[in-house]
Amino acid sequence: MIETLLTLQLPILIILAPLFAGFLTFGIGSFNKKLCAPITIVGTGLSLICAIQVLSQVQQKGPVHYFLGGWIPPIGIEYVVDHLNGMVLVLIAVVAFLTAIYSVKVVEKELSKRIHFFYTLFLFLVTGLMGITITGDAFNVYVLIEIAALSSYALLALGQKKSFFATFNYLIIGTIGACLYLLGVGFLLIQTGTLNMPDLAYQITLQPYSAAIFIAFILMVCGMFVKMAFFPAHGWLANAYASAPTAVGCLIAPLMTKVSVYVVIRVLFSIFSVSYVFDILNISNAVIVLAVAAIVVGSIYALMQQHFRKLCCYLIVAEIGYMMGGIFMGNANGFFGGTYHLIADALMTAALFMVAGAIYYKQGTLDIRKWAGLFKKMPITMTCFIFVACSMIGIPPTAGFFSKWYLISGALQAGHYLFMIALLFSSLINAVLFFRIIEYAYFGSFSSPNSHSQERSEAPLSMLLPLVLVIICMMVLGLYSQDILKYFIAPINPFLGN
Amino acid sequence: MKLIAGIIASILACLLISVAIELPRFGDPHSPANEYVASYYLENAYKDGHVPNVITSVLADYRSFDTMFETCVVFIAGVGIMAILFGTSKKSKHAVQIKSLPSNNSVIIQTATRFIVPMMQLFAFYVVAHGHYSPGGGFQGGVVLAASLILLALAFQLKGGLAFMSKKAMIGYATAGVLLYAGIGVVCMLYKADFLDYSALAYVLPSTDKVMARSHGMLGVEIGVTLTVMSILFGIYTQLASNGHMDEGL
Amino acid sequence: MANFNYIIVVIILCLGLWAMLSKKNLIKKCIGMAIFQTGIILFFISMGAKKGATIPIIQQGYGAHDVAHQAIQASHYANPLTQILMLTAIVVGVATLGMALSLVQRIFNFHGSIEEDEILNQ
């Protein structure tokens, strides 16, 4: 009885585990700060187990539906888990669990008196992100976007003193993005009368030339563009994430922008169909131009940075350009590339921020010019850094190579040669960037004055283990890329004619 | 920046006004927004839950999951504001000095408050309890309760308000409220129904059928919302008014 | 003029958006945010209005059993769905405004000013 109970209720347990953990962390953790980290690790761990179970259920039997409150849609709210959902849920759960383990030492050092606030907001952010991913109701997405956003504003403001102004800017711009999305949902409601995603898809096919539906599309997609820091709304990202606490950066940077990309995929292919976006509206060219601009601007700004976390943030801006270009390309290879890159880039960004955090914890500086001799002092961390660098440049058989491969072949098929050139340009810039950092870190040891500090002072185990696990996940993603594409992304690829 | 902002705002305005002409007519009872799901709610809410107030019925039953996350938003706002204002330095060059003035101890205000606050709180309980039959519900009642506490804090200085509800009590009430809401949902799951499907409460509460179980479930959920909204809104006021220190306020 | 309510809502929205993006004082940006969110709330509420309808509380007859026997006509009552969505939006707006104000307090405590150009010049 417990077995069937658990199997049927898995979709909601994924959300309830971090939610209850969040309430308990605040209620109990305010009085006893030592219990915060264990509750967080247990909550995210349970969520990870449930997410993996749901993904295997989807793999065996097809999409899983869960009706909240027992009301069938469109009367009530519905949870739908298909392959895309399931993968992103597992991704969020993995990154959250590993960051929770990673954060134990770092939070004690940086945020010693505010530990209970950190873990409570951490768990609510994870709940919000998972809720955005799993829901099948357009208004529920807005409520959960706001949960994730409010938690992230408070988490980012826990950083250094100059983070307050950057967080305020992020708050203003994030509110604009979420409210534009809400306005889009309003236009959909006014024309169709329903909020349930499959129902909306059906109603839109009945009246595809309506002006309100067109405006709804523009508003929803532009709102999400603002939230994912897509060119030209990318200015807030670097300032907001650069002065955040280490563990906060490791959680927010890989996940928040990628979940906004997921929402765009849902809006594009589950609410508005392929024929609406690419045949009736024909906006593919306009978005690809913006994607090219995003890649070029992001790469050039990254090249100009000496502060490592700001560099990573501008790389995120460029990677979002890859994803948006792939999704709006209009053919199967582009969709493969964009979606695969969503998962690959989340893991790569998580690894980069974890490396940055480990170096900051031990050396106290994030200026890459001062990273002399790090290969001798922190060998495991820098080896992981080399793996990530290979993946970002696009060297086979890492995950980054396969996503670039599919993106380039999709661009060639669709005739977007400018996008292909931008991708190659970005790989070149990444190579220059990362080799420069490796040069500073490897060769600096002979000329630095304090040569007595050459002994190893590696980061603690609780920080190394999650980093190594993320690298292993990234390499597994790359080595098994064909299987992942065939079993997980191909069933939901709307261009493959199923 | 003013020019770019002006251009963006005017493009948005032109786009939206050009669509506004083609939307369904204002006040049309047969527009698509009013026809499909909303008319189902109006026609079946009383039959499904014995609650004449359709707003409460939709908020706490059909779309109760949205309301649970709305309560969480309030909770997160309280936690977040406490986190942001924690450790504001009193010795910084620009720290605001908050001092209570002697004229803040006005006899007239304090006596009037002593009469008004019990009436406000009684009215708030009425709004919550009668939310099934008249305009009201958890959020409205919680806000009136929070307003009564803020009135106490204004009349008797922040310390007087905090004597009524201390920081620990605020944390306790807020957590109890959201746990009550989510807990009712979990209890429904234990009786083989879906999350927040109140008809499963018919097995828990004595001598209720499935329809009345929904009505009682809605009331329980609204009480949870009231507790959280009351404590968090008062908490936000005390934090903002005292710059995070919770000792001297406006 | 047809659909004048939507035109007024659009004007409010765009005023709020312009204030959020162009003003330099942080409190004015918060006020712009509140105006923007008010515009959206008005949009949804006016979407659900029905001519000649009353509030969506089912009218009780002179006995409770009357309600069960009469058929309820949806066009007599205002649309409840939009009002509920906007309850959520109002609460979210209050929460965001509270957080913005606490951030402004912290910014003033550290920087000594709430004008954007003075803060950026520091």
Out of A150, A165, A183, whose CB is closest to C99?
Answer: A150
Is B58–C80 a contact, with Cβ atoms under 8 angstroms apart?
A: yes
Spell out which residues of chain C touch residue B231, defining contact as CB-CB under 8 Å: none
- C62 to chain A nearest CA, in Å? 30
Residues of chain B scoring pLDDT < 70? 100-104, 250
**Mutation for testing the C interface, residue in A142, A152, A169, A175 having most C CBs under 10 Å:** A175
B66 vs A26, A117, A139: nearest CB? A139
All residues at 6 or more sequence positions from B243 whose CB lies less than 8 Å from its CB, including other chains: B85, B88, B95, B96, B98, C105, C109
Spell out which residues of chain A touch residue C26, defining contact as CB-CB under 8 Å: 168
B213–chain A nearest CA distance, Å: 13
What pLDDT is stored for residue C96 in this prediction? 96
A389 contacts A348 by C-beta, under 8 angstroms: no
Decide if C22 touches B, using CB distance below 8 A. Answer: yes
Which residue in B has a C-alpha nearest to residue C20's C-alpha?
B5
Report the C-alpha gap between A343 and A117 in whole angstroms.
29
C38 to chain B, closest Cα gap in Å? 16
Is C58 in Cβ contact with B54 (below 8 Å)? yes
C5, C14, C101: best mutation site toward chain B, by most B Cβ within 10 Å?
Answer: C14
CB contacts, 8 Å: B27 with chain A: none
Give A190→chain C minimum CA distance, Å: 7
- Which tokens hold the place of B108? 């007239």
Q: Say which residues have a Cβ less than 8 Å from residue B104's Cβ, sequence separation at least 6.
A: B157
Give per-residue burial for B216-238: e unless 16+ CB within 10 Å, then b: bbbbbbbbbbbbbbbbbbbbbbb
pLDDT: is A71 or C12 the higher one?
C12
Q: How far apart are CA A219 and CA A215, in angstroms?
A: 6
Beta bridge partners, C54, equal C77
Q: Which neighbouring-strand residues pair with C60?
A: none
Q: Which of C14, C82, C109 sits opposite B33 (nearest CB)?
A: C82
Task: Give the integer Cα–Cα distance in Å for B136 and A411.
Answer: 57
In angstroms, the separation between the Cα of residue B114 and the nearest Cα of chain C is 28
Q: What is the Cα–Cα distance from A467 to A460, expressed in whole angstroms?
A: 11
Q: Is B96 on the interface with C (CB under 8 A)?
A: yes
Count the alpha carbons within 13 Å of A446 in the hemisphere toward its beta carbon. Answer: 3
Furthest-apart CA atoms within chain A: distance in Å: 75
- Å between A263 CA and nearest CA of chain C: 19
Chains touching chain B through at least 3 C-beta pairs below 8 angstroms are: A, C
Cβ-Cβ pairs closer than 8 A, B with C, add up to 184
Minimal Cα distance from B11: which residue of C?
C14
* Cβ–Cβ gap B34/C74 under 8 Å: yes
- C-alpha span between B137 and C121 (Å, rounded): 49
Q: What is the ipTM of this complex?
A: 0.94
Of all residues in chain B, the one with the smallest CA distance to A153 is: B80
Residue keyed to tokens 């620009």: B94
Alpha helix locations (H) across A157-277?
A: 163-192, 197-206, 211-227, 235-242, 246-266, 274
The pLDDT score that the predictor gives to residue C61 is: 53
Amino acid, res. A358 = A
Whether residue C50 and residue B73 make contact (CB cut-off 8 A), yes or no, is no
B65 touches chain C (CB under 8 A): no
Chain B 144-173, residues with CB within 8 Å of chain C CB atoms: none
Phi and psi for C115 in degrees, rounded to 5?
A: -105, 135
- The SS3 call for residue C115 is strand
Determine the straight-line distance between the first and last CA of chain C, rounded to whole angstroms.
51
**Strand pairing partners for C77?**
C54
Of A120, A190, A193, the residue nearest A154 (C-alpha) = A120
| A75, A88 contact by CB (below 8 A) | no
Which of A68, A140, A212 lies nearest to residue B194, judging by beta carbons?
Answer: A68
Distance CA A443, CA A372 (A): 7
Tell which of B8, B42, B130 to mutate to test the C interface (max C CBs under 10 Å): B42
Question: Does residue B83 sit at the C interface (CB-CB below 8 Å)?
Answer: no
Which of chain A's residues have a Cβ under 8 Å away from the Cβ of B80? 121, 150-151, 153-154
Instruction: Say which DSSP state A96 is in.
Output: H
Distance CA C22, CA A136 (A): 36
Candidates B179, B164, B158; CA nearest to B227 is B179
Closest CA to C33 of C84, C83, C109, C94: C94
Q: Give pLDDT, residue B104.
A: 67
Q: CA-based angle A249:A253:A256, to the nearest 5?
A: 125
Instruction: Flag if B192 and A5 touch (Cβ within 8 Å).
Output: yes
Residues C43, A143: C-beta atoms closer than 8 Å: no
Strands A64-67 and A78-81: antiparallel
Q: Do B182 and A212 touch (CB under 8 A)?
A: no
pLDDT at A281: 77
C-alpha–C-alpha distance, residues A251 and C27, integer Å: 30
In SS3 terms, B146-194 reads as: HHHHHHHHHHCHHHHHHHHCCHHHHHHHHHHHHHHHHHHHHHHHHCCCC
Hey, is C25 helix, strand or coil? Answer: strand
Distance from CA of C3 to the nearest CA of B (A): 6
Residue A406 carries which side chain, given as an amino acid letter? Y
Q: Work out the minimum CA distance from B174 to partner chain A, whole angstroms.
A: 9
Query: Which chains are adjacent to chain A, needing at least 3 Cβ pairs under 8 Å?
Result: B, C
How far apart (Å, rounded) are the C-alpha atoms in residues A169 and B122?
Answer: 42
Tens-digit pLDDT string for chain A (498 aa): 567 777 888 899 999 999 999 999 998 888 888 888 999 999 999 999 999 999 999 989 889 898 988 888 888 899 999 999 999 999 999 999 999 999 998 888 888 888 999 999 999 999 999 999 999 999 999 999 999 999 999 999 998 888 899 999 999 999 999 999 999 999 999 999 899 999 999 999 998 888 899 999 999 999 999 999 998 888 899 989 988 898 999 999 999 999 999 999 999 999 998 888 888 877 888 999 999 999 999 999 999 988 999 999 999 999 999 999 999 988 889 999 999 999 999 999 999 999 999 999 888 888 888 888 788 888 888 899 999 999 999 888 888 999 999 999 999 998 889 999 999 999 999 999 999 888 888 876 544 555 445 567 788 888 899 999 999 999 999 999 888 888 888 888 888 764
A-C contacts (CB, under 8 Å): 65
Give the one of B16, B36, B189 whose C-beta lies nearest to A193's C-beta.
B36
Model pLDDT, residue A176: 95
Nearest Cα neighbor of A356 from A473, A447, A253, A448 is A253
In terms of CA atoms, which chain B residue is nearest residue C77?
Answer: B42
Using a CB–CB cutoff of 8 Å, tell me whether C120 touches chain B.
Answer: no
Best mutation target among B22, B63, B227 (most A Cβ atoms within 10 Å) is B63
Query: Using CB atoms, which chains have 3+ pairs under 8 A with C?
Result: A, B
Residue A162 three-state SS: coil
Report the chain A residue with the minimal C-alpha distance to residue C122: A162
CB contact under 8 A, A77 and B76: no
Residues 125-144 of B with CB under 8 A from C: 133-135, 139
Among the partner residues A143, A179, A186, nearest to C37 by beta-carbon distance:
A179
Tell me which chain C residue has its CA closest to the CA of residue B71: C91
What are the φ/ψ torsions at residue B11 (nearest 5 degrees)?
-65, -45
Encode pLDDT of C44-99 as tens digits: 999 988 888 888 888 765 444 555 556 777 788 888 999 999 999 999 999 999 99
Question: Which one of C81, C82, C88 has the shortest CB-CB distance to A143?
Answer: C88
β-pair partners for A135: A79
Per-residue DSSP letters for A181-193? HHHHHHHHHHHH-
Query: Are A12 and B193 within 8 A, CB to CB?
Result: no
